A and B are shown apart, each in its own frame.
Chain A
Amino acid sequence: MNNIKSKLSIATCTLLGGTVQQANAIENSWDLDSSFLYYGEADDRVVVKKAMAFLTGDISAEDTVNVNLVLDTMSGATPTGAVRSKNSSVSFSSASGAGSSTVDGASVDRVHFSDTRLGIALSWAHSQDRLTTLTYGGSLSVEKDYQSYGASINYSLDSEDRLTTYTVGFAGSYDEIYRKTDGTPEPLSRVEDASIFSNGERYAYDFILGVSKVLNRKTIAQLNYTVSYSDGYHTDPYKVISEVNLVQDTDSGEFAWAELDRYYEARPDTRLRHAIFTSMAHQYGESGETVHASYRFYTDDWGISSNTIDLTHRTPLSANSYIEPHFRYYSSSAADFFVHSFNNIDVSTPIELPQYASADYRLDQSIGLTTGIEYGKQMYGGSFRTRLEYINWQYEEAEYDETKALVLQFSFQKLFD
């Protein structure tokens, strides 16, 4: 068999997002990689601290297992989708514990939260013969208001000359979504008098087809197609949409939004997504400089289409250290049902609500840019890495039109016999 360092493939829930690696045999029997990551957004928004431990080991000449543990603590304030308005008619106090929707007549457009998430993923890769490997995976992720369970199976086949690898895989997941204090609100209902329904449930099914090929002594490339179908509750039970009206201040003459009412959002019951992903790794020059480049095209039936380019360039600084700048570009269209707000131009008549609507900035037309740098060094019998990244997302119409975040990560990997 190829002693493999195998991770789960197919991203269904947040935990299934790795890559199945075949031919790189593990020298020692066990490999423990651990990491601490800090993610912090500007303007007192989201802060996430993440601790990860990934253990990989050969339990026999044909079998490799992976155990991945993740613990996240999340806190901060996140936009609800409501419009910032100094003049809000919405004055109730939310029973869900999300706080009141107005303070001193001004709308409260962010909600504070604090949560802890535990994720566990297990996988077992079995070599049937020299050229084929079957990998089984399972995962679960739990936090106060969200639970996700998934399973996957992957089959990979190498060509006789080991220059080409074909992979096919299936994954399924079940998610349960609800608010911390109660279930889920009636979709597109007024926040003031909304009925509360039971917890939301969602099933998702993923399929991946991929091929990787060694192009020459110093280049390898891959091409994947993934399709995913999900059925059930896709709405975010905390997110709202403001009904607004433009008013002119009598003294200054300035125009500003006045919030007239607030509704819970509603997203469709199904989602069909496709993605084509290609990447390559290439080494050049005398000193072993390596470039990784990837491109993904994504489209789904909510009207979202996106392009993502990712580049990293590694320069060895010495025999056992390197520096690696990173750049990522992301550009996405908005979902068909994305709105900034419901603009009620004629306040005497009630507005007509659409079937689906969301003001969640994540569904808006956006551009995201990431620049980062990583440093790695062999020390204490293992591999130490640290990286710093700056991410900037710009949104076209959403109330919060920018998100800026800093990422800092420290990792240490050690091989054991």
Chain B
Amino acid sequence: MMKLIITLTTVLGLSLSLSSCSFYNSAGEAFSMENVEPWQRDVLAQDDMQLDPDGMRTFADEHIYFSKEASTGGRGVGGGGCGCN
């Protein structure tokens, strides 16, 4: 019973995350390297395009998983954004 719930949860989770046709078209686009000029950083400047968009959420999660799991760390660098100044 538990294994069934886990499998269903996994499938649901993955499909929620990967739903939408344009995502599949875009999957290739995601990794294509392009030079980005300083005036083309409109999308990169958005709050939810930062590598860590919600510091408080990341902090809370890191603490939960640090307390309940044996593995730690990994996160930590910055970059991206509007590239201003």
Report whether over half of chain A's contact residues are helix, strand or loop; otherwise say mixed.
Answer: strand
Also in contact, A54 and B56, with CB within 8 A (given A24-B50, A130-B85, A330-B69): yes
Contacts of B80 in A (CB 8 A): 23-24, 165, 212, 214, 220, 281
A235 adjacent to chain B (CB < 8 Å): no
Cα-based distance from A82 to B2 in the complex (angstroms):
24
Residues 187-201 of A, flagged 1 when their CB comes within 8 A of B and 0 if not, give 000000000000000
A304 adjacent to chain B (CB < 8 Å): yes
Contacts of A308 in B (CB 8 A): 71, 74
Also in contact, A281 and B50, with CB within 8 A (given A369-B6, A369-B10): yes
A19 touching B76 by the CB < 8 A rule? yes
B60 adjacent to chain A (CB < 8 Å): yes
B14 touching A327 by the CB < 8 A rule? yes
Chain A interface residue count, CB cutoff 8 Å, equals 112
A220 touching B63 by the CB < 8 A rule? no
Cα-based distance from A283 to B45 in the complex (angstroms):
12
Q: B14 to chain A: closest CB distance in Å?
A: 6
Residues 205-241 of A, flagged 1 when their CB comes within 8 A of B and 0 if not, give 0101011111111111010101010000000000000
Chain B interface residue count, CB cutoff 8 Å, equals 70
Q: A385 to chain B: closest CB distance in Å?
A: 7
A71 adjacent to chain B (CB < 8 Å): no
Cα-based distance from A387 to B61 in the complex (angstroms):
12
Q: Of residues 31 to 69 in B, which have CB atoms within 8 Å of A's CB atoms?
A: 31-36, 38, 40-41, 43-60, 62-69
A312 adjacent to chain B (CB < 8 Å): yes
A219 touching B31 by the CB < 8 A rule? yes
A226 touching B57 by the CB < 8 A rule? no
Residues 307-327 of A, flagged 1 when their CB comes within 8 A of B and 0 if not, give 010011110000000100101
A14 touching B71 by the CB < 8 A rule? no
A256 adjacent to chain B (CB < 8 Å): no
A18 adjacent to chain B (CB < 8 Å): yes
Q: A323 to chain B: closest CB distance in Å?
A: 10
Contacts of B76 in A (CB 8 A): 9-11, 18-20, 167, 169, 208, 210, 224, 226, 277
Among candidates A11, A167, A327, A363, residue contacting B62 with C-beta atoms closer than 8 Å: A11
Taking A54-B55, A367-B6, A371-B12 as given, write out 6 further A-B residue pairs in contact, using a Cβ cutoff of 8 Å, ordered by the A residue number: A19-B52, A215-B34, A224-B74, A284-B26, A304-B71, A387-B57
Going nearest first, the 6 A-B pairs with the smallest beta carbon separation are A165-B79, A212-B79, A277-B74, A327-B13, A210-B77, A23-B81
A-B contact pairs, 30 of them (CB 8 A): A2-B85, A3-B85, A19-B51, A21-B52, A22-B79, A23-B79, A24-B80, A25-B85, A33-B56, A158-B79, A164-B79, A167-B79, A216-B34, A218-B44, A220-B51, A220-B80, A226-B74, A273-B72, A281-B49, A284-B26, A285-B20, A289-B20, A306-B69, A332-B69, A332-B70, A362-B70, A374-B57, A391-B64, A394-B2, A402-B2
Q: Interface of A with B (CB < 8 Å)?
A: 1-7, 9-11, 14, 17-25, 33, 35, 37, 39, 50, 52, 54, 68, 70, 130, 156, 158, 161-165, 167, 169, 206, 208, 210-220, 222, 224, 226, 228, 273, 275-277, 279-286, 288-292, 296, 298, 302, 304, 306, 308, 311-314, 322, 325, 327, 329-330, 332, 335, 362-363, 366-369, 371, 374, 385, 387, 390-394, 402-403, 405, 407, 409, 411, 413
